[in-house]
């Protein structure tokens, strides 16, 4: 009695006779002996796989949770089914082991900033090693590198501290600039005031010098009668005041005695 088994496109059938592999059949309708034989179907299409929540330790002892996605396909159905009890799990362990080694050589900041390089190194490290399991890894990608909660909190605190430090420095620079501008303005005002006062002082000095010069010129052009008249006026004022004592040498007394007006003033002083 014959049996019929359909193998679909991109699949392969492994014929087992009395539990032992005997041959491989391709896509299409295949005959077998149901009592003595069995056909095991193996999918050769590319298969996506996600490895989530995988913990690794960086060079600086930071714990990082990783999410890795990869695409693989079976290249040798016989090896895949018979030479390893779980070829997919073996492949996963191989990927995780190499990923642990690669990230373990990097500091946290390096690892977080170089996922593309990690992808390349991981793909190169795996290479054809999975061929032992009859598997070929076509693509591997680090989807996420997430530090632990404690490290994330520490990083956030550091970022806040850096921001506060930057803000404080900016404020200090702004205050210093304001003080500098204010001081410069005050200095300029002081200089302007000093220049104005100096100019006023020079102007007053020039005016005083001009006044003295004009007075000297006037005195130089005045004759003796002018001075005599001024002296007589002064004696007249003295005669009217309580201070009626005048000390003069005899020559001056004799000179003023010849002047009638002066004589009258002197008589008034004598009568007091």
Cβ-based burial of 135 (10 A; exposed 0-12, middle 13-18, buried ≥19): buried
Task: For Cα atoms 52, 53, 57, give the angle at the middle one, nearest 5 degrees.
Answer: 125
Q: What pLDDT does 242 receive?
A: 64
The 10s digit of each residue's pLDDT in 201-214 is: 888 888 888 878 77
Q: What pLDDT does 12 receive?
A: 94
Residue of 245 and 199 predicted with greater confidence: 199
What spatial distance separates the first Cα and last Cα of the chain, rounded to whole Å?
Answer: 179
Q: What pLDDT does 74 receive?
A: 92
Residue of 21 and 178 predicted with greater confidence: 21
Give the integer Cα–Cα distance in Å for 23 and 33. 13
255 pLDDT above the threshold of 60:
no
Q: What pLDDT does 72 receive?
A: 92
Residue of 183 and 155 predicted with greater confidence: 183
Q: What pLDDT does 144 receive?
A: 83
Q: What pLDDT does 264 receive?
A: 58
Q: How confident is the model at residue 154 (pLDDT cuts 50, 70, 90)?
A: low
Mean pLDDT of 66-83: 91
The 10s digit of each residue's pLDDT in 212-221 is: 877 777 766 6
Q: What pLDDT does 8 receive?
A: 93
Give the integer Cα–Cα distance in Å for 19 and 41. 15
Q: Which two tokens stand for residue 137?
A: 């890894």
């Amino acid at each position: 009695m014959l049996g019929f088994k359909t193998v679909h496109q991109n699949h392969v059938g492994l014929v087992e006779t009395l539990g032992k592999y005997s041959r491989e059949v391709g896509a299409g309708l295949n005959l077998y002996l149901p009592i003595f034989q069995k056909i095991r179907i193996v999918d050769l299409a590319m298969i996506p796989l996600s490895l989530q929540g995988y913990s690794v330790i960086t060079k600086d002892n930071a714990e990082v949770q990783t999410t890795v996605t990869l695409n693989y396909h079976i290249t040798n159905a016989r090896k895949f089914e018979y030479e390893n009890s779980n070829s997919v799990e073996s492949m996963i362990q191989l990927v995780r082991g190499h990923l642990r080694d690669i990230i373990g050589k990097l500091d946290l900041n390096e690892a977080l900033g170089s996922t593309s390089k990690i992808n390349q190194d991981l793909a190169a490290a795996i290479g054809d090693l999975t061929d032992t399991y009859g598997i070929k890894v076509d693509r591997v990608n680090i989807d996420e590198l997430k530090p632990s909660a404690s490290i994330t909190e520490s990083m956030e605190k550091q970022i806040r501290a850096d921001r506060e430090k930057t803000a404080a420095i900016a404020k200090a620079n702004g205050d210093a600039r304001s003080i500098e501008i204010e001081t410069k303005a005050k200095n300029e005002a002081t200089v302007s005031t000093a220049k104005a006062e100096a100019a006023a002082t020079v102007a007053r000095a020039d005016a005083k010098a001009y006044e003295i010069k004009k007075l000297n010129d006037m005195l130089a052009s005045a004759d003796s009668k002018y001075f005599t008249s001024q002296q007589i006026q002064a004696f007249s004022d003295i005669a009217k005041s309580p201070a009626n004592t005048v000390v003069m040498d005899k020559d001056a007394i004799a000179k003023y005695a010849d002047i009638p007006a002066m004589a009258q003033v002197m008589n008034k002083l004598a009568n007091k």
